[in-house]
Amino acid sequence: APQDTQVPDSGLVRVEDDRTGMSEQSLKRAIVDNLHYGQGKDNYFATPYDYYMAIARSMRDRLIKRRIQTARTHIQEDSKVVYYLSAEFLMGRYTGNSLINLGIYERVRKVLRESGLELDDLLEKEHEPGLGNGGLGRLAACYLDSLATLEIPAVGYGIRYEFGIFEQEIRNGWQAERPDKWLSFGNAWEVSLPEYRTEVKFGGHTESYTDTKGRYQTNWIPEHTVFGIPYDTPIPGYGVNTVNILRLWKAESSNEFDLDAFNAGDYLGAVANKMFSENISKVLYPNDDTVQGKELRLEQQYFFVSCSLQDIIRRHIYHYNSLDNLHEKSAIQLNDTHPSIGIAELMRLLIDVHQMDWEQAWHITQNCFAYTNHTLLPEALERWSVNLFGRLLPRHLEIIYEINFRFLSEVRKRYPGDNERIARLSLIEGEGADKKVRMANLACVGSRKINGVAALHTKLLQQDVLRDFYELAPEKFINKTNGVTPRRWLLLGNPRLSNLITEKIGEAWITNLDELRKLEQFADDPQFRQTWREIKQANKQDLAAYIERKNHIQVDTNSLFDVQVKRLHEYKRQLLNVLHIITLYNRIKRNPNEDILPRTFIFGGKAAPGYFIAKLIIKLINSVAAVVNDDPSLEGRLKVAFLSNYNVSMSQQIYAAAELSEQISTAGKEASGTGNMKFALNGALTIGTLDGANVEIREEVGAENFFLCGLTTPEVYELKAKGYNPQEYYQSNSELQEVIRLIACGHFSDGDSQLFRPLLDSLLYNDKYMLFADYQSYIDTQDRVSQAYRQEDNWTRMSILNTARMGKFSSDRAISEYCKEIWHVEPVPVEFKEYSPEDM
Ligand code: GPU
């Protein structure tokens, strides 16, 4: 063969460099390369979306290289792995975060600028992956970031929903939902692995037989089966070579299942069945903190859990050739009860498929699983009807009965004759036709550790919701106060503030958030305060421009930005915030010269599509906005903006611009909250009740830097016990009466006095969440906020101290605690190695 003398010898090296290199030159070449060969475009044809895809792919190349190295290292070191099972992962956009975690955000920005391209504009072309509802799904995403950053071997397992959380539109003040077609332009971040597809069974019946060794065995003959195809997304740590994966399962019809129908000549029937199977991963259920007892939801849960456990077992056997040490090498975390069917499924796999005996299987299962509870609301506790359960998962129902039989025998020994306690502890609730499987009880019995997500929440679990389990096994209970990742929630979301902080105290805070304490020394420095204010001001201007563009509302950037963004839920009490707005409105109407602090009230959040009252609250916010924003007599002092389609990307901008954070849930109802942490991290002050993690935030920042309002949890309980009557508060409060009457007379609804009747009736005659009881305290505290805001210097000081004292609320702290106290896993550092030709 002729010698290839024309091609320079460095050909191989150059390809390597384009996929992994971090210099400006190789980044530039990588982006051009991906533009050409990924998108099939040159700079003449390329759209901004093409450029976005080329940047995303260039980052993915760099991460895949590190992913391979990470996987190799974990195998070489026989590492124990954390498996985080969650029905939701609310990741937000990946590309900016990858640039940040690879440490090349500025460099790539510079490279693009040289070609007249603006990185930040291109990053907005990424369709946000919204595979979660709210706090629970976002927590899973923050935890994946921290696991990788702490160099912990970990896999996130979930569902690749074709439609994520719906897109919210506001039409005539009402919420309308549109499907979130997030995959329609392709997903640069995922890699499918069809060779690891996994079969999942549904329905049918079980048969017992005695095997050749004389052992009693059970065979599950399903009615149909479905395949799960895994799709992997790389999860990079910040400033380390560790790249973990998020593995999401897509449902596809299995051929076996289709063949019968095809053979019978029923072509269309077979295709219809195919569609039925593929429904499983079609759409995320849009309920937050409530359950929808739909069959498809249980199918989703079992589908992804079965795929994930089979995947864990497949890799474990490949590596160790035995399942005896499964619990020594795997920690499986249940993100609420949604994946708790995994306890019965692991038992089934160990016993029926891998022929293990019950005792050993149970020992391994109990030592693999740990369970995080995320709510105290009774309507969020999952209970599946035994009928449905038996129809869909007949073998699992048998296993659950057996677990329950053995468990209750132990309970009986410990509490002889205490039948009420036994009934409460049972995995099965009720009698006869409406018997239910209690998934929280299954999770408690099958797990080695059970945790709440804030100190108060864990205490209430022990005293209340899970009291019997706590008395039975107190050593299982542990608190793990939530945390949020400072990479997304400060470094990426608030570049101005991040730069100032790094300038002053160095960059160690990015992976050690306690370092922020060093900002305290500048809290009294006039120059620093000035810069701190200017940054908040600039962020407010950006948000004001967004509001002007989207809502056509002009807001005063010198007004207090008072923000409540979160899912719409009665217990979160957006309505109490509205009552305050109307109170201020009335004060100005009563006395036009009243010296009222100008405020901009910003709301955002989705209501579950079937939650009528929550949707009516959105309508009320928009109706109040329409009246208040246009009233010339207010002279622009009050503005209300409801930002539609609140999501992760929007929230990053909102936290950066917020000055007052509304955390006003009824005490004892919000398990933790995590938005509360993101606000304070970005220098907003909190007005809040003693609920969830607010309690701990206040402890950290100091009571003098926190605006406390409302009843405490014991006071709420007492009031409820003695018989709460909202009328008592209403009749004695003229300002409150004025507010309610204004809504009632149709002032915000073009004279329609019926529109908001359901809200008013629920307040006046029931008021489950005690808004009236907390009204005066809330108003008084808001008045203190207004006074404090006028002391500009002191407000800035409090703002600095809030940021400086947020160290505890890093998800790195939370995850290190999980690692030490629940999972017993250690960091596994990963080296970066270039390929060599020997790798072929
Ligand atoms: N949470 Br359960 C959800 O977002 N969705 C749910 O279905 C359930 C809980 C939230 C809690 O409401 C919130 O207080 C907590 O901070 C968050 O989970 C993460 O733990």
What is the CA(446)–ligand 1 centre distance, in A? 22
Q: Is the CB of 380 under 6 A from ligand 1?
A: yes
Q: Is the pLDDT of residue 727 over 60?
A: yes
Q: Is 284 in the pocket of ligand 1 (CB under 6 A)?
A: no
Tell me what the mean pLDDT of segment 293-320 comes to: 97
pLDDT at 273: 74
Residue where one domain finishes, among candidates 482, 516, 548:
482
Q: Average of pLDDT values for 121-131?
A: 98
Q: What is the mean pLDDT of residues 751-776?
A: 98
Whether 675 lines ligand 1, by a CB cut-off of 6 Å, is no
Domain boundary among 462, 482, 502: 482
CA 139 to ligand 1 center in whole angstroms = 9
Nearest CA to ligand 1 atom 3: 136
Tell whether ligand 1 has an atom less than 6 A from the beta carbon of residue 136: yes
Q: What is the mean pLDDT of residues 454-470?
A: 98
Q: Are residues 722 and 768 in the same domain?
A: yes
CA 458 to centroid of ligand 1, rounded, Å: 13
462, 583: one domain: no
CATH number for the domain spanning 634: value is: 3.40.50.2000
Task: Look at the chain and count its residues.
Answer: 840
Q: What is the pLDDT of residue 260?
A: 72
- Best residue for ligand 1 mutational test, from 84, 88, 288 (most atoms within 8 Å of Cβ): 288
Give pLDDT tens digits for 512-547.
999 999 999 999 999 999 999 999 999 999 999 999
Mean pLDDT, range 321-335, rounded to an integer: 98
Q: What's at 200, amino acid-wise?
A: V
By percentage, how much of the chain surpasses pLDDT 90? 91
Whether this model's pTM surpasses 0.90: yes
- The stretch 773-794 carries a mean pLDDT of 98
- The residues, any chain, with a CB within 8 Å of residue 149's CB and separated by 6 or more, are 101, 237, 238, 239, 240, 242, 485, 487, 511, 812
Instruction: Give a yes or no: residue 113 inside a domain.
Output: no
The pick from 375, 456, 457 for probing ligand 1's pocket by mutation, whose C-beta has the most ligand atoms within 8 angstroms, reads 375
**336 in ligand 1 pocket by Cβ < 6 Å?**
yes
Kindly state if the Cβ of 453 falls inside 6 Å of ligand 1.
yes
Q: Indicate whether 533 belongs to any domain.
A: yes
Quick one: 461 and 562 in the same domain? no
CA of 751 from ligand 1 middle (Å) equals 38
In the predicted model, is pLDDT for residue 267 greater than 90?
A: no
For residue 470, being part of any structural domain is answered with: yes
User: How far is the C-alpha of 792 from the C-alpha of 814, rounded, in Å?
Assistant: 34
Q: What are phi and psi of 500, to 5 degrees?
A: -60, -45
Of 131, 287, 374, 676, which is best to mutate to test ligand 1, by the most ligand atoms within 8 angstroms of its C-beta?
Answer: 374
Instruction: Say if residue 543 is in the same domain as residue 614.
Output: yes
Residue 519 lies in a domain: yes
User: What is the reported pLDDT for 293?
Assistant: 85
Tell me the CA–centroid distance for residue 169 and ligand 1, in Å: 24
Q: Could you tell me if 466 and 591 lie in one domain?
A: no
Distance (Å) from CA 671 to ligand 1 centroid: 7
Residue 9 confidence (pLDDT) above 60: no
Residues with Cβ within 8 Å of residue 164, at least 6 apart in sequence: 129, 130, 131, 132, 180, 182, 284
702, 800: one domain: yes
Residue 206's pLDDT is what? 98
Closest CA to 361 of 349, 373, 371, 369: 349
State in Å: Cα 133 to ligand 1 middle: 9
Let me know whether 513 and 464 are in one domain. Answer: no
User: Which atom of ligand 1 lies closest to the CA of 373?
Assistant: 2
Name which residue sits closest to atom 7 of ligand 1, judged by CA.
289
Give the list of residues 6+ apart from residue 806 with CB closer than 8 angstroms, or none.
Answer: 513, 516, 677, 680, 681, 700, 701
**pLDDT attached to residue 501:** 98
Q: Are residues 243 and 338 in the same domain?
A: yes
Mean pLDDT of all residues in 352-372: 98
* pLDDT value at 123 more than 80: yes
Structure ipTM over 0.95, yes or no: yes
**Are 574 and 450 part of one and the same domain?**
no
11 pLDDT band (50/70/90 cuts)? very low
**Closest C-alpha to ligand 1, atom 13:** 673
Tokens of 434: 């409406």
Whether 694 lines ligand 1, by a CB cut-off of 6 Å, is no
From the CB of 370, is ligand 1 less than 6 Å away? Answer: no
| Closest atom of ligand 1 relative to the 670 alpha carbon | 14
Return phi, psi of residue 563, to 5°. -125, 135
Residue identifier of the C-alpha nearest atom 18 of ligand 1? 136
Say if 24 falls within a structural domain: no
Last residue of a domain, one of 482, 508, 535: 482
- Report the domain count for the chain: 2
Record the tokens describing residue 319, joined without a space.
């590596």
Residues 495, 438: one domain? no
Task: Tell me the pLDDT tens digit for each residue of 176-192.
Answer: 999 999 999 999 999 99
Q: 467 and 495 in one domain?
A: no
Which residues are bridge partners to 218 per DSSP? Answer: 208
pLDDT of 329-348, one tens digit each?
999 999 999 999 999 999 99
Query: 602 in ligand 1 pocket by Cβ < 6 Å?
Result: no
Those residues whose C-beta lies under 8 Å from the C-beta of residue 828, and which sit 6 or more positions away, are: 73, 74, 77, 79, 151, 152, 153, 242
Do residues 730 and 740 lie in contact, with contact meaning Cβ atoms separated by under 8 Å? yes
512 and 428 in a common domain: no
Give a yes or no: residue 801 inside a domain: yes
Which range among 221-235, 245-259, 376-390, 597-611 shows the weakest confidence by mean pLDDT?
A: 245-259
692 lines ligand 1 (CB under 6 A): yes
Give the closest residue (by CA) to ligand 1 atom 8. 289
Q: What is the residue whose two structure tokens read 């399962």?
A: 249
- pLDDT greater than 50 at residue 7: no
* DSSP secondary structure letter of residue 484: B
- Is residue 224 scored above 70 in pLDDT? yes
Catalytic residues: 374, 566-567, 572, 674, 678
Nearest CA to ligand 1 atom 6: 289
Average pLDDT over residues 367-384: 96
**Is pLDDT above 80 for 160?**
yes
* Residue 382 Cβ contacting ligand 1 at under 6 Å: no
Distance 150 CA to ligand 1 centre (A): 24
* Mean of per-residue pLDDT scores for the chain: 95
Domain that holds residue 406: 77-92+128-134+149-171+194-482
Ligand 1 binding pocket includes 374 (Cβ within 6 Å): yes
DSSP string, 779-818: HHHHHHHHHHHHSHHHHHHHHHHHHHT-GGGBHHHHHHHH
Question: Average of pLDDT values for 104-124?
Answer: 97
Going from the Cα of 175 to the center of ligand 1, the distance in angstroms, rounded, reads 22
Q: Residue 19 is inside which H or E element, if any?
A: helix 11-20
Report the nearest-CA residue for atom 16 of ligand 1.
Answer: 673
Of 5-19, 387-401, 727-741, the range with the lowest mean pLDDT is 5-19
In this prediction, residue 379 carries a pLDDT of 87
Give a yes or no: residue 824 inside a domain. Answer: no
Give nearest CA residue, ligand 1 atom 1.
Answer: 136
DSSP per residue, 586-610: HHHHH-TT--PPPEEEEEE----TT
Cβ–ligand 1 contact at 673 (below 6 Å) = yes
Domain assignment present for 70: no
Ligand 1 close to Cβ of residue 674 (< 6 A): yes
C-beta 671 within 6 A of ligand 1: yes
Distance 261 CA to ligand 1 centre (A): 43
- Confirm or reject: Cβ of 141 under 6 Å from ligand 1: no
Ligand 1, atom nearest to 457 Cα = 14
397 φ/ψ angles, rounded to the nearest 5 degrees: -65, -40
